[in-house]
Structure 1
Amino acid sequence: MRWIDQYRAKVTTADRAVELIKPGHRVHIHGGCAEPEELVEALLRRAPELRDVEIVHLTTMGNADYTLPQYEGIFRHVAFFIGANVRQAVHEGRADYIPIFLHEIENLFRTGAMPLDVALIQCSPPDDYGYMSLGAGVDIALTAAQCARHVIVQVNDQSPRTLGDAFIHVSKVEAIVETSRPLPEYRKPEPTEVHHRIARHVANLIPDGATLQTGIGEIPDAVLSALRNHKDLGVHSEMVSDGVIDLIQAGVINNEKKTLHPNKVIAGFVLGTRRLFDFIHDNPIFEFHPTSYCNDPFVIAQNDRMVAINSAIEVDLTGQVCADSIGPLPYSGIGGQVDFIRGAARSKGGLPIIALQATAKEGTVSRIVPLLRAGAGVVTSRGDVHYVVTEYGVAYLHGKTLRERAEALIEIAHPAFRDELRREAERIGLLGRRGVLRP
């Protein structure tokens, strides 16, 4: 049968498509800005007929009403990374969190450790050969679709057609729901002067010809804006944001010096606005891959001068990094931080960087701490940490003693907390009598 005939035979309504979802099923939902919102809305309408449906996904930018109290017992969300739209449900016990390295998630699907009954994904319309692009996010969604027993596709003519290992054929899906609606967007908060100060310290570490990984948020965006005078930069990252557009258009990011996938931006997904979706549409500079590839530390390390820039909630005086919880309370996720920190550490000339603001809560709390809070998760171990950057400077920890680490980190803490940090460091034996800081 011709692919176009298969396609027409599979087109249905969202409400009929989600009838494939039964009580007790595990359902994967396409994440980020690629969330198939029309399918999610239909799933919610089907709620009275369902029970004990587990919903798994990365962060989504759209509707997550299945975590609301009225759906308890019907849906239960399991997060690989906690977004703002599900955080309250996790805290109130209606949803769960799996701490896991991003590059290892897909193996749960492949091995059957987490079998999937249904995958809900969003794609662009098929090309002349019947292939549909996963658009704004390949991430773990392509593998989920390859492993699930049933695949439902929201075909959205407003979804970008992205290139790389980003396609699924019409013959591989069970139901197709056509729609035309804007993608949910991630609108970045504006960086402050403090973020720009941090960014300048980070930018000073980055050589021309480096390959970058940046996350989402004010500091990564500020770092990108601080790189306008750099040359021949490349990108290999789990995700990219609007911040790369200006650098690509200015020729700062040209990927020419990359030692792996030269001339290409390698990414798993994007988080951004319509401007970014339009920019990646059929743009051959972008090559999308599953996160099992993008985030594999051994793949990352093949990029010479690999620079990984990641954030933290707090860092203790020995260099342990908490990035996914506030004390015992889950806040976000492990994500790709360790994947890229380890990949950059093994890269020739690589720079693994943890960047954070020195304080929180309007300057009343230090994020450089003597000890992590009780119950806090250690995302990046002190053995993995190389550079820690705040607005007050750069601490290099790799190969340093515990005393040297404490001294270096106190020097980049906010001045208002340095004396207290030194007293605590002496009390717990990190500094002792030799712990004399330079003025």
Structure 2
Amino acid sequence: MRLGLPLGLGKPNQLANALYRHIRENPRRQLTLYTALSLGRPLAGGELQRRFLEPFVERIYGDYPELDYLRDLRSGSLPENIRVEEFYLQPGSLLDSAPAQQNYISCNYSHVARDINAKGVNAVAQLVARDPARPGKLSLACNPDITLDLLPMLQRRRAAGETIVTIGVVHDQLPYMPGDAEVDEDFFDLLVDAPGDSSTLFSTPNMPVGLQDHCIGLHASALVRDGGTLQVGIGSMGDALTSALLTRHRDNAGYRALLDSLDSTARHAELIERDGGLAAFEQGLYGCSEMFVPGLLALAEAGVLSRRVAARPGSSPSEPGVWLHGGFFLGPQAFYRRLREMPREELAGIGMTGIGFVNNLYRDEELKREQRRYARFINSAFTVTLLGAGVADQLEDGRVLSGVGGQYNFVAQAHELEGGRSILMLRSWRESEGELSSNIVWSYGHTTIPRHLRDMVVTEYGVADLRGRNDAEVIAALLAIADSRFQDELIAQAQEAGKLPKDFELDARYRDNTPERLREATRDLRELLPEFPLGCDFTEHERELLRALGWLKSKLKLSEILELGKATLDAPEPEAFPVHLQRMGLAKPDGLREELYQRLVLAGLKASAEPSR
């Protein structure tokens, strides 16, 4: 059996587990799973994280059925007669899984249907939604992305005599999406329709957005042109961009004050005038994004995503059209609930469809060019080289963090669409276990976006417009948005390679790129930079603990006793945070180890207090 399962939310976990167990117990049978983004509950990396996560995971994930094959991938116990090939991994979760790393398929999202069809996939199974008001119909809901592209290929193989089976599993909590996502019941050969077996849908709780990400989002938001097109990815930088766009529309004076505080309007006045804008959205934006993230829904409900286009080629001019074309969705439980409760006429504005339509420019190219005017494809990277290459999927040693997904698709589109721009959001620096390092580097052993496709890069310090520039200009532009603690070393490396003149001098305006300047500049505007701009699943005390644990992780090697001891010297007394300690099971520590954990938590709570966030 060569079984295709959707990426992310649309996997029928219970069916997949039943098939997996059956074939695992029958070693003469062979199973290959083709999928991506196999989702599992977050796992704790240490004792403190475990104490924080376990109650939260129980509350949020409930009876979500874990994937048996994912458990065995993580533990290295996948049976010999079963192979799992994924083209996108849950970020950072399988770095140490040899089978996952060895069987990872590096390909563009838009090529997946072609590639798994060529491998002979002979079964497809996915979750579907049912609506009593639509008898005889089902919805591919969260995942029409690959299924709609793959179906014609499977039909041709069936016509040639191959045996291929399609299986739908109805989930009563899955939002019913209309349009291209809606199919006839006979779309599937087998239908499992047992609503009582539906379990908790996997969700991705919104994580906190810090000042560094907020500044990145603010700079990027000024590059979005009214009347244009928006694509954005998942994560806190994407949430920060959404927050900035919402502020731009709802509180324009506050928005401009934030940009002025960061000196963005002065540094990038010409760029903003040419490619972006600062005014509220009168014409509105159209969304064209492989992933329908919760932020896009928030933008639509605020009136920002309001430019409608034809839902599909050949649509009647009298149809109201859609404000978004998307391939799949994933988000918090509140996001699913909002979609379930949305009236059908409102849902009609969301065009869930095949990834071939969203991620490609070819096929229906004239229509797409008309719809995707002034496109801003905004994604993230974890490293950018001084010559303009972006790194987003793989470490230098070859281990895959996540995958290419659709990032390359959108970067390439940006270069082909008139007025289109690709924007890579990047934190200029990071801190791990007390070690500081620059995310702008001279070179890196792998690239996701080659430097010949360089376009715009945005850090918390500003925007580097790299399109069409020579190498020395690219280097100078990236140095201007690098953290000042690393600029001299980067300049020396570029000069040693002969890529910068020996007498190069970085403009003094960019020599104060420091976190302290950003904190001071925005100190009086913090109410416009919410920690959770799109809502939150954490309690107030959990939010404070989350900040404390993040601080501990960034500052300390939690395996080194000496560092831990130093960190606890100035910790406040337990009476200062009784509820927090109770939540962590450390109100009454039992033994020296728990006393140390208690002091660490107290130290983290003190250090990560709100005024210094």
TM-score norm. by structure 1 comes to 0.87
Q: 1:84 to 1:201 in 2, by over 3 A?
A: closer
Give the equivalent residue in structure 1 for 2:355: 291
Moved over 6 A (4+): none
Task: Report SS of the residue matched to 2:424.
Answer: strand
Give the equivalent residue in structure 2 for 1:4: none
- CA displacement at 1:259 relative to structure 2: 8.4
- CA displacement at 1:146 relative to structure 2: 5.6
Give the equivalent residue in structure 2 for 1:248: 300
Task: Report SS of the residue matched to 1:352.
Answer: strand
Identify the match of residue 365 of structure 1 among 433, 437, 444.
437
Query: Given residue 49 of structure 1, which amino acid in structure 2 is its aligned partner?
Result: N
* Most deviating of 126-135 and 208-217: 126-135
Identity among equivalent positions (%) equals 27
Q: Deviations over 1:318-340 (max 9, x none)?
A: 10111110112111111111111
- CA displacement at 1:155 relative to structure 2: 0.9
Identify the match of residue 378 of structure 2 among 305, 309, 313.
309
Structure 2 matches for 1:52-71, cutoff 5 A? 52-62=30-40, 63-67=66-70, 68=72, 69-71=76-78
Query: Given residue 106 of structure 1, which amino acid in structure 2 is its aligned partner?
Result: A
- CA displacement at 1:307 relative to structure 2: 0.6
Identify the match of residue 402 of structure 1 among 435, 460, 471.
471
Q: Does 1:349 align with 2:430?
A: no
Query: Given residue 113 of structure 1, which amino acid in structure 2 is its aligned partner?
Result: A
Give the equivalent residue in structure 1 for 2:526: none
Gaps in structure 2 of 5+ consecutive residues:
41-65, 155-163, 250-279, 313-320, 509-613
* Most deviating of 266-275 and 57-66: 57-66
* Most deviating of 412-421 and 281-290: 281-290
Task: Report SS of the residue matched to 1:319.
Answer: coil
Q: 1:346 to 1:121 in 2, by over 3 A?
A: same
Alpha-carbon distance in 2 for matches of 1:146, 1:88: 35
**Which protein shows a greater Rg?**
2
Alpha-carbon distance in 2 for matches of 1:341, 1:365: 27
- CA displacement at 1:134 relative to structure 2: 0.9
Q: Which is helix-richer, 1 or 2?
A: 2
CA contact (8 A) 2:149 2:355 kept: no
Alpha-carbon distance in 2 for matches of 1:341, 1:187: 28
CA contact (8 A) 1:34 1:183 kept: no
Structure 2 matches for 1:77-92, cutoff 5 A? 77-84=84-91, 87-88=94-95, 90-91=97-98
Alpha-carbon distance in 2 for matches of 1:94, 1:74: 18
CA contact (8 A) 1:407 1:435 kept: no
Task: Report SS of the residue matched to 1:341.
Answer: helix
- CA displacement at 1:216 relative to structure 2: 0.7
- CA displacement at 1:428 relative to structure 2: 1.5
Q: Does 1:45 align with 2:21?
A: yes
Q: 1:340 to 1:185 in 2, by over 3 A?
A: same
CA contact (8 A) 2:322 2:348 kept: no
CA contact (8 A) 2:17 2:67 kept: no
Alpha-carbon distance in 2 for matches of 1:269, 1:108: 19
Q: Does 1:187 align with 2:205?
A: yes
- CA displacement at 1:390 relative to structure 2: 0.3
- CA displacement at 1:308 relative to structure 2: 0.4
Alpha-carbon distance in 2 for matches of 1:43, 1:317: 48
* Most deviating of 341-350 and 312-321: 341-350
Alpha-carbon distance in 2 for matches of 1:85, 1:317: 25
Q: 1:380 to 1:301 in 2, by over 3 A?
A: farther
Q: 1:364 to 1:85 in 2, by over 3 A?
A: closer
Query: Given residue 60 of structure 1, which amino acid in structure 2 is its aligned partner?
Result: S
- CA displacement at 1:85 relative to structure 2: 8.2
Task: Report SS of the residue matched to 1:122.
Answer: strand
Task: Report SS of the residue matched to 2:167.
Answer: strand
Identify the match of residue 207 of structure 1 among 225, 229, 242.
225
- CA displacement at 1:353 relative to structure 2: 0.4
Q: Deviations over 1:210-255 (max 9, x none)?
A: 2100011111111011112131122111012111232222212112
Give the equivalent residue in structure 1 for 2:504: 435
Query: Given residue 292 of structure 1, which amino acid in structure 2 is its aligned partner?
Result: G
Identify the match of residue 153 of structure 1 among 168, 171, 175.
168
Alpha-carbon distance in 2 for matches of 1:89, 1:290: 32
Q: Deviations over 1:259-296 (max 9, x none)?
A: 88754311001110232223334411101111111100
Q: Does 1:121 align with 2:139?
A: no
Gaps in structure 1 of 5+ consecutive residues:
1-24
Q: 1:295 to 1:72 in 2, by over 3 A?
A: same
Structure 2 matches for 1:105-116, cutoff 5 A? 105-109=112-116, 112-116=117-121
Structure 2 matches for 1:221-236, cutoff 5 A? 221-228=239-246, 229=249, 230-231=280-281, 232-236=284-288
Task: Report SS of the residue matched to 2:448.
Answer: coil
Q: Deviations over 1:350-404 (max 9, x none)?
A: 22101110112347121100011x3x2x221212121000001111111111111
Task: Report SS of the residue matched to 1:292.
Answer: helix
- CA displacement at 1:182 relative to structure 2: 2.7
The alignment covers a number of residue pairs equal to 409
* Most deviating of 408-417 and 428-437: 428-437
CA contact (8 A) 1:353 1:387 kept: yes
Alpha-carbon distance in 2 for matches of 1:86, 1:79: 13
Task: Report SS of the residue matched to 2:179.
Answer: coil
Alpha-carbon distance in 1 for matches of 2:101, 2:468: 43
Query: Given residue 438 of structure 2, which amino acid in structure 1 is its aligned partner?
Result: S
Alpha-carbon distance in 2 for matches of 1:114, 1:89: 26
TM-score norm. by structure 2 comes to 0.63
CA contact (8 A) 2:310 2:322 kept: no
Structure 2 matches for 1:414-429, cutoff 5 A? 414-429=483-498
Query: Given residue 197 of structure 1, which amino acid in structure 2 is its aligned partner?
Result: C
